[in-house]
Amino acid sequence: MKIIPADLDDPRVVALLTVHHESARAQVPEGSAHALDVDGLRAPDITIWAAWDSDELLALGALRTLDAHHGEIKSMHTAQAQRGKGAGSAILGHIIATARERGMARLSLETGATDYFEPARALYRRHGFNGCAPFGDYVPDRNSVFMTRKL
């Protein structure tokens, strides 16, 4: 497996991001959906990576810089056929390592509160994330779970 910057013009990357965006948004009411589409991930404060096995896209994950000391994990998604095989953990580990290299002291994230998002919450807990209050521009929302960890 290799993890490299994601090419947001690669149709395979766009397809997996579209699955992520549409499936995540289908699980929560309109005002509670925070998944970014491809254009949203082109923002200058976001870096996105792809995990590949040869030419097979395994997973994606992004890091948004909130400020010099705080980052946000965005758009984590593992291809359905790759779930439970370590690609999501590898991307998350890469994001954590990159945030440390950039001098960040904290990483936070927002994910859904329904059962659909439990595998994601379990992954984050395994990597040291715990519940927290809303951060950045988020507001309290019963459909969202906020998590954070010190680096």
**Which sign, positive or negative, has the C-alpha torsion 144, 106, 97, 17?**
positive
- Report the C-alpha gap between 61 and 63 in whole angstroms: 7
pLDDT string in tens for the chain (151-residue length): 999 999 999 999 999 999 888 787 778 877 788 888 899 999 999 999 999 999 999 999 999 999 999 999 998 999 988 888 999 999 999 999 999 999 999 999 999 999 999 999 999 999 999 999 999 999 999 999 999 999 9
Q: Locate the domains of the chain by residue range.
A: 2-150
Is 0.75 topped by the overall pTM? yes
* CATH 3.40.630.30 at 2-150, yes or no: yes
CA atoms within 13 A on the CB side of 88: 22
Backbone angles phi, psi at 138, to 5 degrees: -70, 155
Residue found under tokens 């995990």 = 51
